[in-house]
């Protein structure tokens, strides 16, 4: 196949998301609709086991026509109140028109995250224009002698520790350009830099030693102390992180020339001030998330503030700073679109009321299997569910109340059920095409999805086998 032909059939992320939306719409026509009762009015509230009820499906030509928008905040608050007051008795499949109409709805639902990503891009536009990023990386490599064998493990351990202990994932969008530039200065490929960050972050989230995002919901539902079972998860993290570091170190050069890492001058005061601003921003990001409950809206405000301070520290004119900020935002437009489209897939599945049906089907077919089989099956089911719902917290609220009792009936402890949930969630999020955050990572780094998929697939296979082995050990030892 010619080079042009290869590019013609390359995996385009926008087309992939359109295909995912089409598949989601098709499933609402093929699968029966149903729902569990929930411990609250929200769709993401924990389900009540044993309350699943199938709902009649209204098939017909009328279902091909998209319904008119509901009154009251575009159908938002009014629709929720109507659902609580008047239970749903019949569900039509989702109209094929939702393939396009759900995209703006997904953008609206993800508006806080999209705003954060766009304004993060603006901050980085100012940072790149200041020249401090390149100078700082050159100085770092001068101090370390540019030794890849030292820089790579240190960076990956630090990143992975943030995700496994604190649950950092979206926050790492902030440092993707830094790590990419660092890899290029070491004479490595862009894929090397992307893998250095992404594998470290994903492996950390997979193990979730004390990750509050995953553990606060999952462990509470199954009735085990929150943050318990740390030792075994820490061992899994150590083994998998060592494998990830080895894989990245073996990743070959692509012909990029390394810089002279022994002649970088000391940084001027202005560039030091810029880099200090970036460091303070990272610390505020972590502290605000952990201690003050900051989320996307607060992060976005922080990035705007940091962009202004960076421009002042770099002695940029207001016009130049504003232009750099807008240019940086433009670079994140694809990431913003992909996040909205990924959220649209979940909206389609929820509108068609088939997520609960999938959960009910899984519980029915795993209830009486041997203990050693149930734990890996729970992991595999969570991997499948991650394609439909990339959000860790939403998936925990939906699936753990059902899978926990199933595991207990088969002799699988609550701790092991949580571990199966964590492993399945983390493994699939390494390359799930419906993961808006992964697509945002790729768009920020300028890495095609197909290139990342081909790179990560063998690693995914190896880590999946190790995860199955870890679950068998957990069952055998009564973890």
Mean pLDDT of 56-77: 64
Cα–Cα distance between 201 and 165 in angstroms, integer? 11
Rounded percentage of the chain residues whose pLDDT exceeds 90? 28
Confidence of residue 418 (pLDDT cuts 50, 70, 90): very high
What is the pLDDT at residue 191? Answer: 94
Contact 95, 67 (CB under 8 A): yes
Between 202-211, 264-273, 354-363, the lowest mean confidence (pLDDT) is in 264-273
Buried (b) or exposed (e) across 415-453, using 16+ Cβ within 10 A? Answer: bbbbbbbbbbbbbbbbbbbbbbbbbbbbbbbebebeebe
Contact 433, 21 (CB under 8 A): no
**Would you say residue 81 has pLDDT above 50?**
no
Mean pLDDT of 339-353: 87
Provide the residue count of the chain: 479
Burial class (CB in 10 A: 0-12, 13-18, 19+), 468: middle
What letter would DSSP give residue 10? S
Dihedral of CA atoms 44, 48, 50, 54 in degrees, nearest 10, equals -40
What pLDDT, in 10s, does the model give residues 88-105? 567 888 989 999 999 999
**Would you say residue 60 has pLDDT above 60?**
yes
Cα–Cα distance between 336 and 74 in angstroms, integer? 21
Of these ranges, 107-116, 285-294, 311-320, the one predicted with the greatest mean pLDDT is 311-320
What is the pLDDT at residue 85? Answer: 41
Between 68-77, 339-348, 435-444, the lowest mean confidence (pLDDT) is in 68-77
How does the average pLDDT of the chain come out, rounded? 83
**DSSP SS3 for 53:** strand
Confidence of residue 419 (pLDDT cuts 50, 70, 90): very high
Of these ranges, 3-7, 51-55, 378-382, the one predicted with the greatest mean pLDDT is 378-382
The residue among 87 and 427 whose pLDDT is bigger is: 427
The residue among 243 and 212 whose pLDDT is bigger is: 243
Place of tokens 């973890």: 479
The residue among 440 and 242 whose pLDDT is bigger is: 242
Place of tokens 């807008």: 326
What is the pLDDT at residue 70? Answer: 61
Of these ranges, 31-45, 363-377, 407-421, the one predicted with the greatest mean pLDDT is 407-421
What pLDDT, in 10s, does the model give residues 221-280? 888 888 889 899 999 999 999 999 999 999 855 444 444 444 556 778 888 898 888 888
Mean pLDDT of 20-28: 91
Element (H, E) at 33: strand 33-35
Mean pLDDT of 33-56: 79
Other C-beta atoms lying within 10 Å of the C-beta of residue 397: 23
Neighbouring residues of 242: CB distance < 8 A, sequence distance ≥ 6 = none
Number of helices and strands in the chain (H, E): 21, 2
The residue among 67 and 197 whose pLDDT is bigger is: 197
**Would you say residue 202 has pLDDT above 80?**
yes
What pLDDT, in 10s, does the model give residues 291-328? 787 878 888 899 899 999 999 998 899 999 999 999 98
């Amino acid at each position: 196949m010619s080079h042009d032909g290869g590019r013609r059939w390359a995996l385009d992320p926008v087309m992939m998301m359109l295909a995912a939306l089409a598949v989601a719409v098709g499933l609402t026509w093929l699968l029966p609709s149903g729902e569990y009762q929930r411990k609250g009015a929200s769709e993401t509230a924990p389900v009540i086991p044993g309350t699943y009820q199938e709902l009649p499906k209204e098939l017909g030509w009328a279902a091909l026509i998209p319904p008119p928008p509901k009154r009251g905040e575009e159908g938002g608050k009014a629709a929720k109140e109507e659902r609580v007051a008047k239970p749903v008795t019949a569900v039509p499949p989702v109209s094929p028109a939702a393939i396009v109409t759900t995209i703006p709805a997904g953008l609206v639902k993800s508006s806080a995250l999209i705003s954060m990503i766009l304004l993060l891009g603006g901050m980085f536009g100012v940072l790149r224009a200041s020249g401090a990023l390149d100078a700082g990386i050159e100085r770092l490599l001068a101090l370390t002698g540019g030794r890849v064998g030292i820089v790579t493990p240190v960076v990956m351990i630090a990143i992975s520790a943030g995700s496994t202990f604190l649950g950092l994932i979206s926050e790492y969008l902030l440092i993707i350009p830094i790590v990419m530039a660092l890899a290029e200065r070491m004479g490595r490929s862009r894929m090397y830099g992307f893998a250095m960050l992404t594998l470290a972050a994903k492996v950390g989230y997979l193990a979730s030693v004390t990750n509050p995002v995953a553990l606060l919901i999952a462990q509470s539902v199954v009735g085990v102390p929150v943050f318990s079972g740390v030792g075994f998860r820490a061992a899994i993290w150590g083994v998998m992180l060592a494998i990830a570091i080895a894989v990245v170190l073996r990743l070959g050069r692509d012909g990029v020339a390394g810089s002279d890492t022994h002649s970088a001058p000391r940084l001027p005061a202005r560039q030091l001030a810029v880099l200090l601003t970036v460091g303070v921003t990272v610390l505020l990001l972590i502290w605000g998330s952990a201690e003050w409950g900051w989320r996307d809206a607060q992060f976005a405000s922080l990035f705007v503030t940091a962009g202004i301070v960076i421009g002042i520290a770099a002695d940029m004119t207001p016009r130049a700073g504003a232009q750099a900020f807008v240019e940086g935002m433009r670079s994140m437009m694809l990431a913003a679109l992909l996040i909205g489209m990924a959220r649209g897939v979940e909206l389609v599945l929820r509108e068609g009321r088939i997520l609960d049906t999938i959960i009910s089907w899984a519980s029915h077919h795993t209830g009486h299997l041997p203990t050693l089989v149930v734990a890996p099956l729970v992991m595999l089911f969570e991997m499948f569910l991650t394609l439909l719902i990339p959000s860790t917290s939403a998936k925990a609220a939906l699936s753990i109340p059902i899978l926990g009792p199933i595991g207990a009936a088969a002799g699988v402890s609550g701790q092991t059920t949580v571990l199966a949930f964590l492993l399945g969630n983390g493994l699939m999020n390494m390359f799930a095409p419906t993961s808006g955050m992964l697509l945002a990572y790729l768009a920020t780094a300028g890495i095609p999805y197909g290139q990342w998929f081909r790179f990560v697939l063998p690693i995914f296979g190896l880590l999946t086998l190790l995860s199955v082995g870890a679950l068998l050990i957990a069952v055998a030892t009564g973890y």
